[in-house]
């Protein structure tokens, strides 16, 4: 991740426990970027598109997205991000969810998801997966939103 | 939709048939009766006719006899008047000769009637007397004594012999007339009877025909009615079946969805439980290290309770939480797997079962060798058209179970055999393993249920999956087993999987 820039991580995850475990393991992987956590889709979208500190108005970000949300489906959020006009559409979206249904995975990639990760139920595997994701995040290039 | 009970169509048929049969029988009996009566009446009629003819014959003979007698008398008189005319003599002789056969005939014909017999006897005597007198007349005339002949003739006439004979004839004729009238009446009566019987038989026939016709018509009407009802019933039955199938499909979909959602949503909290258990474990390790360090440093801050908590209670509690959540995870995965298989799209294709079994044997080769067990196919297996993945899963599970549950110390012998039964195939997987207790025969197919000693790892998922798969393939599965001797699982599958039919 572009270290010189403050790339914010937007985590949309309705389960507080999952969110905490994800955050812990990302931190353990050495990623210190700010993480904004939202438990529902509406406020998350509001932050992404309208907040002064959100990706639309304030530069690059990365979205960690859970598909099972109380108010809307994660795929709706994915579609909204990827079909938007502004620079947000280039925001990398990592779908991180319990669903391992082949059709769902396909659908997410069709909608423009950049990475799809199934949360392993086994915690050791889960922790390892998140740490690897952290390592992955530390090397990938995030597009500069301002160039939009 | 309420199921309307089918009307009892068959109930009307039986009395109707009986009624028809009764009418037919009655009709035939009446016909036979009429036939016999007619035959009898015809015989009677003929008898009467014969008697009438007889009477006429008697009458004829009487008249002939009389004519001959009169002819004789006329000849006698003519000869008396003109003795030199030989024609009279010839006429007389002819009449005399013809007379006796007639008289004999008359005697024969009147033998049946005492009255006529008596009259005939009288007539015979009179005719004989007359014949003597006539002969004398002719004798006298031929002798040339015409005067004596005439004298004798006068005496005869005075005696009225001819008149007496005529009276006798009249009496006989009268008797015959009487008989004729009587016999005519008889004949007429028997003819009337004949027509009456004909009429009755005709009416009977007409009645039977009309009744039969009416019965057959009503029977046909009933039949048509039943057929209509049946077709209606059929249609509604199809409707009911469709509706039930739709309901079942809905219910099944609902269950599939439910199973999927439940198992899916259960996983989320489980991730937390397991995750934080791991975190807790890490923290407990830190704590234990702290206690160890404090002990090593000889600090008296650490109490015995602290040590117990850090070294035993916490690891034990965490261990139980971990093993329980792991078990729960496996169960949830099993449900998820089952529901996933239920949603899978089936793709029927011809399957060489023997090759499939051989393939399963290769997969299990290591474990078969380990236990010195054998897997073989006995005889020919039928070729079936079904979903490869499903049938593979089914047979794999069954063979796997057979290898898993061996009898202690007995090398396994697993035999797969099969045969066709009409449009279906029966496939058996038999082993000589430890067997299943009879009271568990149904239970083993239930999810999470197992039978016998729990000395082999397993969740009780395999047979539940097998049964679900077999049902989806339009088949059934049952088990026969004797504890300690072996188990046979019997699959009954359609030879060709009809997706239309199995699409629940």
Split into its structural domains, chain B has a count of 3
B131 and B197 both lie in a single domain: yes
Structure token pair of residue B337: 């797997």
pLDDT values of chain A reduced to their tens digit, one per residue, 148 residues: 544 457 889 999 988 888 998 898 888 888 888 899 999 889 999 998 888 878 888 778 889 999 888 888 889 999 999 998 888 888 899 998 887 778 889 999 999 999 998 887 677 888 888 888 888 888 888 777 554 4
B305 and B369 both lie in a single domain: no
Give pLDDT, residue B357: 93
How do residues B254-276 score in pLDDT, each as one tens digit?
Answer: 877 787 777 777 877 888 888 88
Among B264, B272, B332, the residue with its CB nearest the CB of A17 is B272
B297 and B415 both lie in a single domain: no
Yes or no, beta carbons of A121 and B269 under 8 Å apart: no
Q: Which residues contact B371 (CB under 8 A, 6 or more apart)?
A: B403, B406, B411, B412
B256 and B366 both lie in a single domain: no
- Evaluate whether B259 touches B338 at the Cβ level (below 8 Å): yes
Residue A12 is assigned to a structural domain of this protein: yes
User: What is the domain-level CATH number for residue B480?
Assistant: 3.30.565.10
Residue B232 is assigned to a structural domain of this protein: no
Domain residues for A97? 8-141
B334 and B446 both lie in a single domain: no
Residue B243 is assigned to a structural domain of this protein: no
Yes or no, beta carbons of B264 and A21 under 8 Å apart: no
Domain residues for B19? 12-219
Split into its structural domains, chain A has a count of 1
B389 and B453 both lie in a single domain: yes
Among B272, B329, B332, the residue with its CB nearest the CB of A15 is B272
Q: In the sheet that A35-38 helps form, which strands lie side by side, from edge to edge?
A: A35-38, A8-12, A61-65, A93-97, A115-118
Q: Which residues of A touch B326 (CB under 8 A)?
A: 122
B75-103 mean pLDDT: 81
B415 and B333 both lie in a single domain: no
Q: Which residues contact B146 (CB under 8 A, 6 or more apart)?
A: B80, B83, B140
Q: Which residues of B touch A68 (CB under 8 A)?
A: 264-265, 268
Among A24, A98, A124, the residue with its CB nearest the CB of B267 is A98
Give pLDDT, residue B14: 57
Q: Report d(CA B303, CA B252) in Å as an integer.
A: 59
Structure token pair of residue B177: 């007339």
Give pLDDT, residue B2: 44
Range with lowest mean pLDDT among A104-118, B72-86, B298-312, B470-484: B72-86
Yes or no, beta carbons of A21 and B268 under 8 Å apart: no
CA B446 centroid distance within chain = 44
Give pLDDT, residue B1: 41
CA atoms within 13 A on the CB side of B247: 7
Give pLDDT, residue B6: 46
pTM for this entry: 0.49
For the cut 70, the answer to whether the pLDDT of residue B296 exceeds it is: yes
Yes or no, beta carbons of A127 and B264 under 8 Å apart: no
Q: Which chain B residue's Cα is nearest to A97?
A: B268
How do residues B206-257 score in pLDDT, each as one tens digit?
Answer: 888 888 888 888 888 989 999 998 988 888 888 888 888 888 878 877 877 7
Give pLDDT, residue B15: 65
Q: Last residue of a domain, which of B293, B321, B341?
A: B341
How do residues A90-112 score in pLDDT, each as one tens digit?
Answer: 889 999 888 777 888 999 999 99
Under the banding of pLDDT at 50, 70 and 90, the label for residue B5 is very low
Give pLDDT, residue B12: 47
Yes or no, beta carbons of B276 and A17 under 8 Å apart: yes
Q: Report d(CA B220, CA B214) in Å as an integer.
A: 10
Among B264, B279, B333, the residue with its CB nearest the CB of A99 is B264
Q: Which residues of A touch B278 (CB under 8 A)?
A: 123-124, 127
Range with lowest mean pLDDT among A80-89, B143-152, B175-184, B287-296: B143-152
Q: Which residues of B touch A124 (CB under 8 A)?
A: 278
B265 and B355 both lie in a single domain: no
B386-411 mean pLDDT: 90
Q: Last residue of a domain, which of B341, B365, B392?
A: B341
Residue A98 is assigned to a structural domain of this protein: yes
ipTM: 0.72
Residue A146 is assigned to a structural domain of this protein: no
Q: Is any Cβ of chain B less than 8 angstroms from the Cβ of A70?
A: no
Could you tell me how many residues make up chain B? 504
User: What is the domain-level CATH number for residue A115?
Assistant: 3.40.50.2300
Give pLDDT, residue B26: 78
- Evaluate whether B58 touches B110 at the Cβ level (below 8 Å): yes
Q: Which residues of A touch B279 (CB under 8 A)?
A: 21, 24
- Evaluate whether B78 touches B140 at the Cβ level (below 8 Å): no
B467-471 mean pLDDT: 86
B263 and B316 both lie in a single domain: yes
How many residue pairs from chains A and B have C-beta atoms closer than 8 A? 49
Q: Last residue of a domain, which of B288, B314, B341?
A: B341
Q: Is any Cβ of chain B less than 8 angstroms from the Cβ of A122?
A: yes
Q: In terms of pLDDT, which residue wins out, A147 or B379?
A: B379
Among residues 278-297 of chain B, which lie with CB inside 8 Å of chain A?
278-279
Residue A2 is assigned to a structural domain of this protein: no
B58 and B187 both lie in a single domain: yes
Residue A1 is assigned to a structural domain of this protein: no
- Evaluate whether A71 touches A40 at the Cβ level (below 8 Å): yes
Give the minimum alpha-carbon distance from B298 to chain A in angstroms, rounded to a whole number. 33
Residue A75 is assigned to a structural domain of this protein: yes
Give the minimum alpha-carbon distance from A102 to chain B in angstroms, rounded to a whole number. 11
Q: Is any Cβ of chain B less than 8 angstroms from the Cβ of A109?
A: no
Residue A131 is assigned to a structural domain of this protein: yes
Q: Which residues of B touch A22 (CB under 8 A)?
A: none
B366 and B333 both lie in a single domain: no
B93 and B205 both lie in a single domain: yes
């Amino acid at each position: 991740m572009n270290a010189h820039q403050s790339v914010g991580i937007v985590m949309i995850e309705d389960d507080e426990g999952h969110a905490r475990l994800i955050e812990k393991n990302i931190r353990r992987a050495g990623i210190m970027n700010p993480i904004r956590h939202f438990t529902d889709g509406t406020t998350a979208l509001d932050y992404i598109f309208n907040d002064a500190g959100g990706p639309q108005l304030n530069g690059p970000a990365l979205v960690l997205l859970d598909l099972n949300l109380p108010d809307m489906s994660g795929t709706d959020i994915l579609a909204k991000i990827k079909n938007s006009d502004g620079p947000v559409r280039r925001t990398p979206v990592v779908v991180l969810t319990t669903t391992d249904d082949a059709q769902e995975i396909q659908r997410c990639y069709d909608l423009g998801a950049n990475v799809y990760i199934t949360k392993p139920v086994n915690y050791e595997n889960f922790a390892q997966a998140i740490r690897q994701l952290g390592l992955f995040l530390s090397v990938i290039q995030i597009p500069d939103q301002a160039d939009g | 939709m309420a199921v309307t009970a089918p009307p009892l169509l068959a109930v009307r048929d039986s009395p109707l048939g009986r009624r028809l049969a009764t009418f037919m029988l009655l009709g035939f009996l009446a016909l036979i009766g009429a036939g016999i009566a007619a035959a009898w009446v015809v015989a009677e009629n003929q008898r009467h006719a014969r008697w009438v003819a007889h009477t006429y014959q008697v009458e004829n003979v009487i008249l002939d006899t009389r004519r001959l007698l009169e002819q004789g008398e006329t000849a006698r008189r003519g000869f008396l008047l003109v003795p030199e005319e030989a024609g009279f003599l010839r006429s007389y002789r002819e009449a005399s000769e013809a007379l006796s056969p007639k008289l004999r005939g008359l005697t024969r014909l009147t033998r049946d009637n005492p009255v006529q017999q008596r009259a005939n006897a009288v007539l015979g005597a009179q005719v004989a007397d007359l014949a003597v007198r006539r002969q004398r007349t002719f004798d006298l005339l031929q002798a040339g004594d015409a005067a004596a002949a005439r004298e004798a003739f006068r005496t005869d006439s005075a005696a009225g012999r001819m008149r007496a004979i005529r009276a006798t004839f009249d009496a006989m004729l009268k008797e015959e007339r009487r008989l004729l009238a009587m016999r005519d009446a008889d004949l007429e009566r028997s003819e009337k009877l004949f027509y009456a019987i004909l009429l009755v038989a005709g009416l009977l026939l007409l009645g039977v025909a009309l009744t039969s016709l009416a019965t057959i018509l009503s029977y046909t009407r009933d039949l048509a009615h039943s057929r209509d009802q049946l077709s209606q019933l059929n249609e509604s039955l199809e409707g009911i079946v469709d509706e039930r199938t739709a309901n079942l499909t809905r219910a099944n979909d609902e269950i599939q969805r439910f199973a999927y959602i439940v198992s899916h949503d259960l996983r989320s909290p489980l991730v937390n439980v397991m995750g934080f258990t791991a975190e807790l474990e890490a923290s407990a390790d830190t704590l234990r290290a702290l206690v160890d360090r404090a002990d090593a440093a000889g600090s008296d801050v650490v109490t015995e309770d602290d040590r117990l908590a850090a070294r035993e209670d916490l690891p034990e509690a965490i261990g139980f939480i971990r093993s329980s959540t792991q078990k729960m995870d496996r169960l949830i995965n099993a449900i998820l797997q089952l529901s996933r298989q239920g949603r899978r799209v089936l793709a029927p294709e011809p399957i060489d079962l023997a090759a499939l079994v051989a393939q399963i044997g290769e997969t299990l080769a290591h474990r078969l060798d380990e236990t010195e067990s054998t897997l073989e196919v006995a005889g020919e297996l039928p070729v079936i058209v079904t979903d490869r993945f499903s049938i593979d899963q089914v047979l794999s599970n069954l063979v796997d179970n057979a290898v898993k549950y061996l009898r202690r110390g007995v090398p396994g012998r697993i035999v797969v055999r099969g045969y066709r039964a009409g449009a279906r195939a029966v496939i058996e997987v038999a082993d000589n393993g430890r067997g299943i207790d009879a009271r568990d025969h149904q239970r083993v197919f239930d999810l999470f249920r197992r039978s016998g000693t729990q000395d082999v790892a397993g969740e009780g998922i395999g047979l539940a999956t097998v049964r679900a798969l077999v049902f989806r393939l339009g088949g059934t599965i049952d088990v026969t087993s004797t504890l300690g001797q072996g188990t046979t699982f019997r699959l009954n599958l359609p030879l060709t999987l009809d997706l239309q039919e199995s699409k629940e």
